[in-house]
Amino acid sequence: MTSDKRQWFAERAKLFEYYVNNMSDKIDEVKMIFHEQEFGWVDTDIVVNENNTFRFSISFVYQPFDDILKWLENLAEKRYCEQEVSTYSVCINAEDEYYIFVYEPDIGLNRNDTGIFYVYADECSGEKWVQKIAIHAYCCKTDLIRYFYKSLTDFAMLMNTREDYRNEWNDNDREEIDFQERFKSSKIINYLSSN
């Protein structure tokens, strides 16, 4: 087993131990907030219960929007494993810094719509890079999908109205892109309308 994999399991074990000892009936609220772009970077916050925030930056070079959208669709359709590849996580490459969003459903209880969401992230500690769980929440899957999808679609609306976004964030230089259409998901819309 590689040291990276051992680190992942160690961090995950600490997280599960936390929830074993601190499980509450309270469900956390998790939101994602995109800020204004600057020089091809967009600061992004993951916010838990309005008071706990993890900020990271995403780059127009490795845009994560399509991957985040696919991850949300997989969660909506309860596809946690497809062709032996986990679909309950998505990796965001921020130009060699990595952030992995993970949702693990709570299959041990009779709560079909809850689970643990966390972000496993690269972090520079002094001169050494380490990976750790940066933020976590015990949350409602439907609310997670709703809030994250709303953030994506709100950001798409902003991207459509601003020339700097259309120029820098359009990965298809030959034609005008409609970000709202690109981020539209009938799978998520149908899921949210039925829940």
d(CA 101, CA 117): 7
pTM: 0.87
Q: Domain residues of the chain, as ranges?
A: 3-193
Which DSSP category does 111 fall into? -
Place of tokens 């998790």: 30
Q: Which secondary structure element, helix H or strand E, spans residue 143, and what is its range?
A: helix 141-161
Q: How crowded is the C-beta side of 65, counted as CA atoms within 13 Å?
A: 26
- Alpha carbon distances (Å) from 161 to 30, 157, 164: 27, 7, 9
Q: What angle do the packed helices 65-76 and 141-161 form, to 10 degrees? A: 150
User: pLDDT 10s digit of each residue in the chain, 195 long?
Assistant: 677 778 888 899 999 999 989 888 889 999 999 998 888 889 999 999 999 999 999 887 788 888 999 999 999 987 765 555 556 888 888 887 889 999 988 876 656 689 999 999 877 666 666 788 999 999 999 999 999 999 999 988 888 887 766 666 665 555 677 888 888 999 999 999 998
